[in-house]
Structure 1
Amino acid sequence: MTISTEAITDDGPLYEAAKKVYPQRVRGTYRRIKWIVLWIAIGVYYILPFIRWDRGPNAPNQAVLVDIAHSRFYAFFIELWPQEVYYFTGLLILAALILFLSNALFGRVWCGYACPQTVWTDLFLWVERLIEGDRRERIRLDAAPWTGDKIIRRAAKHAAWLVIAMLTGGAAMLYFVDAPTLLKDMVTLKGPSIAYLWAGILTFTTYALAGHMREQVCLYMCPWPRIQAALTDDDALNVTYRFDRGEPRMSVKHAAQAHANGQAAGDCIDCLQCVAVCPTGVDIRKGSQLGCIQCGLCIDACDAVMTKVHRPTRLIAYDTDENRKRRERGEANVYRLIRPRTILYAAVIALTGCIMLYALLTRTSSHLSVLHVRAPLFTQTAEGGVRNGYTLRFSNKLSEPGDFTLDVGGVKGAATTSAMAKPLGGGGLTVHLDPDSTLEVPVYVTAPADAAPGKSTPITFTATDAKTGERSVVVDNFFGP
């Protein structure tokens, strides 16, 4: 559905009533690109959970897995722990920057080709055309009375939509548990109830958004059309109707008469094919609009018409506002893909990617975090010493057991004790961890009376992996009276 913002009459309502959009089938370059992106995207979505990746014993062999039960995220050779959430932050930053760069270069190309809403809506439209026919047939079917044929067609369409929606919702669950196992359990009705619940929610949202709401998601729900307007400029390539070529628009017959009389006539024959094929019902000839997702289908439709009437193609094309102004001045088109805005985005993308890559390549297989016990902040011993309590969390990311030595520095003469660690010569402790596990160890640090520090003294905890030699150093504070 789409709503025009044109006033009807001076005394009538300001906005036209909502009209259902019936996108027409179209063939051409951009439609082929959309099909390629669609099938690649859907193929990756459904196949990816079944790809295997050997990580050794005691580790899942699913290539991409969000293991909520064990607080892990696996992506081929990468394994991320909850403490490494900054990697996800970096990925989100990268995704945003890439979106900004694509917008500066080619407008809303993401919306037109790769957005999940676009991909699944295209798939649902393909099913609808297959069952109910193309645009004219669907319009006639909607207007026709309810007959046996109409009921069968509608039931078949919605059944097919529901099957696709259920496959979509079910496939999403395969990213959270071993895919073959969960698929078998769900098909045999032995799966966990939470999996059926979320699969049902995603089935409903897919069916509603791609089958019924369609362009309304782009027009009213998605924030990106409103954001991208602030990120574009006159040199960004956008789907554009070339007014200088198309106006004044008139039929082929009237154009021939105008030329015979020495009058101007544009190439646009006002066939409305660009509107008929638009998935959001936009008339691109009215200029840049919120509903235009830059998919290029209107380009394919217009090119087909121009070819039939023996006129040059690309009356509608990916073009820039700057070129439109240049043509008005009688100057040649200039395309500036490399400019300060795109250079800045590309540089920040490269910098963020390098930082993430460095962090990934230098990440350790162990980790230590320290939390000071706050209640009480410190206690005093009978001998006059001062004791502070800490909770140390050790992480062993390897698939084999690990032993860590803990050394404490910064507080002169301090003694370190723990009921969950073995004492080590020199005042240190030894902590044993199981494979791929974390362990919280309560540790007490006691300073003697003759060396009791002041209100706050920095204290250093150093954990050393006995097998790999990796060291994790954490600085905290030791408090006294």
Structure 2
Amino acid sequence: MALAESEDAPLFAPSKKVYPQSVSGSFRRIKWVILVLCLGIYYLLPFLRWDRGPNLPNQAVLADIANNRFYFFFIEIWPQEVYYFTGLLILAAFFLFLMNAVAGRVWCGYLCPQTVWTDLFLAVERAFEGDRRERMKRDEGPWTADKLARKTGKHLVWLVIAWWTGGAWVLYFADAPTLVRELATFTAPLSAYAWIGILTFTTYALAGIMREQVCTFMCPWPRIQAALTDDDALNVTYRYDRGDPRVSVKQATRLRAANEPAGDCIDCFQCVAVCPTGIDIRDGSQMDCIQCGLCIDACDTVMLKISRPTGLIAYDTDDNVKRRIAGQKPVYRLIRARTLIYTALIGLVGGAMIYQLATRSTAGISVLHERTPLFVTLSDGSTRNAYTIRLLNKRPDSRPFALTVAGPPGIRVETVGTQATADLRPIITVEPDSSREIRALVTVPAGIPLDKSQTITFTASDLFAGEVVTARDHFIAP
């Protein structure tokens, strides 16, 4: 019988709806400030202008897919420079590792988009349906006109926020004022409406309906960070050396008067009520905890009301709790090998990217030796090689380049279908944001001693900006 009952029992306990209670305090204020900053940047950044000169878009941040460009203020990224995005991903990973080494899932509690939008959706829910007790009571009660009106209003506002979230995203891929006008007049591309629809649905579902389930079941970071953390990382910790044994306020007063142990925790469950994932932090470190610190604010408020010291729940380590029980001083090691290594890696990758950006060229040259034939001996005894040269212009205006070649004495270069300077250097004009391929003939006069293969250097000089690019290849002789 017992076996049959165990076979019928569910593998997992059914999840209960979480009703986070509003709370005030330092960490809640920090979260509000971060929410306003993050959402303000996300929604308004596409409308920020940045003057790049003629023939270039003036949107500060723009992913110009049509013209294969990405603009970020004064930085312009070309498709072949995708390694910058790789560098940004590496930097983001190291920053995440560093935050985890310092304070656990602090990214999840304050900066993660899921957390930011969920906080916004919860604020809307409280505005329509009240705080925790009111929402629970209303959900348990029958449907009334008031209940229907409140829930309808809440979901409509959620949908508007989700719709504008999707709309703001597509504004990063086209001129924002122009696209807003096209969206309003239903003349925008179909892909814009499709992406707005997709992001509206995902934002509404993830931030409004699924909420903590995303953090608990869908996000891989809780599993990853558990493998990366160590004993010195600060986490939201219930200091059971202070809190236990848990008794009521009256019992605690009586026990302390009798010089008997009494903890500061009075089992008010306020830490559970405000938790956005519905956990009890007093049960110890848990994967569901996003380290948002709201339970700290709730507990500190209660401690002040009962005239006890704050900090019963705080950013701390389990080792420090054990040290205090043993009569030792707590140890905080924010600067240690792990954090120093992550900081050094961030500096190394960031420095390499900045150096590459500061020294990169807006022109390029590549050379390909023609193979049939490898060389030609002319009637006057000179030797000629043919090359295909491609010049790249990354600027938004036309640029004339003078081509020269360096190598054996008397070496000269001619190009097909181009003009020349006064000193007979070929001039190749390259159109804006494009490349040009030309055929070049390199000749070494007769009588010059040559090896079978020697290195020569092609140089293209911008006649206006003075920028110089070079490429090497080999000159083949008999």
Normalised-by-shorter TM-score class: 0.7 to 0.9
Distance 2:28 2:375 in 1: 82
Residue number in structure 2 paired with 1:315: 312
Residue number in structure 2 paired with 1:3: none
Shift of 1:117: 0.8
Tell me which of 353, 356, 360 is aligned to 2:353: 356
Three-state SS of the structure 2 residue aligned to 1:59 is coil
Shift of 1:33: 0.5
- Aligned sequence identity (%): 57
Asked whether 1:403 is paired with 2:400, we answer yes
Matches within 5 A, 1:380-395: 380=373, 390=388, 392-395=390-393
Asked whether 1:247 is paired with 2:240, we answer no
Tell me which of 359, 362, 365 is aligned to 1:365: 362
Residue number in structure 2 paired with 1:4: none
Three-state SS of the structure 2 residue aligned to 1:175 is helix
Distance 1:157 1:125 in 2: 10
Three-state SS of the structure 2 residue aligned to 1:230 is helix
Shift of 1:411: 9.0
Distance 1:61 1:114 in 2: 29
Tell me which of 194, 197, 214 is aligned to 1:197: 194
Residue number in structure 2 paired with 1:222: 219
Residue number in structure 1 paired with 2:435: 439
Three-state SS of the structure 2 residue aligned to 1:265 is coil
Cα contact 2:375–2:384 (8 A) shared by 1: no
Tell me which of 62, 66, 69 is aligned to 2:66: 69
Shift of 1:314: 1.0
Asked whether 1:104 is paired with 2:101, we answer yes
In structure 2, the CA distance between the partners of 1:193 and 1:240, relative to structure 1 (3 Å rule), is same
User: So what's the TM-score if we normalise by structure 1?
Assistant: 0.87
In structure 2, the CA distance between the partners of 1:382 and 1:18, relative to structure 1 (3 Å rule), is closer
Residue number in structure 2 paired with 1:300: 297
In structure 2, the CA distance between the partners of 1:222 and 1:390, relative to structure 1 (3 Å rule), is farther
Distance 1:163 1:327 in 2: 51
CA deviation vs aligned residue, 1:165-187 (integer Å, no higher than 9, x gap): 11111111111111111111111
Structure 1 spans left out of the alignment, 5+ residues: 1-7
Shift of 1:254: 3.5
Shift of 1:362: 2.2
Matches within 5 A, 1:127-142: 127-142=124-139
Cα contact 1:246–1:315 (8 A) shared by 2: yes
Three-state SS of the structure 2 residue aligned to 1:268 is coil
Pair member with larger Rg? 2
Distance 1:346 1:84 in 2: 25
Distance 2:89 2:422 in 1: 47
Matches within 5 A, 1:338-353: 338-353=335-350
Tell me which of 461, 466, 469 is aligned to 1:464: 461
Shift of 1:137: 1.5
Distance 1:60 1:16 in 2: 55
Shift of 1:240: 0.6
Matches within 5 A, 1:141-220: 141-220=138-217
Distance 1:350 1:23 in 2: 39
Shift of 1:316: 0.3
Shift of 1:83: 2.7
User: So what's the TM-score if we normalise by structure 2?
Assistant: 0.87
- AA aligned opposite 1:394: L
Asked whether 1:40 is paired with 2:37, we answer yes
- AA aligned opposite 2:439: V
CA deviation vs aligned residue, 1:360-418 (integer Å, no higher than 9, x gap): 22222322345x59xxx832389679976646241232x43211123455699988676
Residue number in structure 2 paired with 1:379: 372
Cα contact 2:458–2:472 (8 A) shared by 1: yes
Three-state SS of the structure 2 residue aligned to 1:239 is strand
Residue number in structure 2 paired with 1:55: 52
Distance 1:394 1:177 in 2: 25
Structure 2 spans left out of the alignment, 5+ residues: 378-382
- AA aligned opposite 1:439: S
In structure 2, the CA distance between the partners of 1:253 and 1:359, relative to structure 1 (3 Å rule), is same
Name the stretch that deviates more: 209-218 or 413-422. 413-422
Cα contact 1:411–1:453 (8 A) shared by 2: no
Distance 1:219 1:430 in 2: 64
Cα contact 2:391–2:430 (8 A) shared by 1: no
Aligned residues: 467
Cα contact 2:46–2:60 (8 A) shared by 1: yes
Distance 2:89 2:231 in 1: 27
Cα contact 1:30–1:295 (8 A) shared by 2: yes
Matches within 5 A, 1:115-130: 115-130=112-127
In structure 2, the CA distance between the partners of 1:218 and 1:252, relative to structure 1 (3 Å rule), is same
Distance 2:476 2:89 in 1: 39
Cα contact 1:420–1:431 (8 A) shared by 2: no
Cα contact 2:51–2:58 (8 A) shared by 1: yes
CA deviation vs aligned residue, 1:428-475 (integer Å, no higher than 9, x gap): 64221234x112315366789x99987x87664432212222222234
Cα contact 2:375–2:477 (8 A) shared by 1: no
In structure 2, the CA distance between the partners of 1:233 and 1:54, relative to structure 1 (3 Å rule), is same
Shift of 1:35: 0.3
Distance 1:235 1:83 in 2: 42
Residue number in structure 2 paired with 1:84: 81
Distance 2:155 2:340 in 1: 47
Cα contact 2:375–2:385 (8 A) shared by 1: no
- AA aligned opposite 1:470: E
- AA aligned opposite 2:166: G
RMSD: 3.1
Distance 2:277 2:309 in 1: 26
Cα contact 2:70–2:78 (8 A) shared by 1: yes
In structure 2, the CA distance between the partners of 1:76 and 1:420, relative to structure 1 (3 Å rule), is farther
Three-state SS of the structure 1 residue aligned to 2:308 is coil
- AA aligned opposite 2:108: C
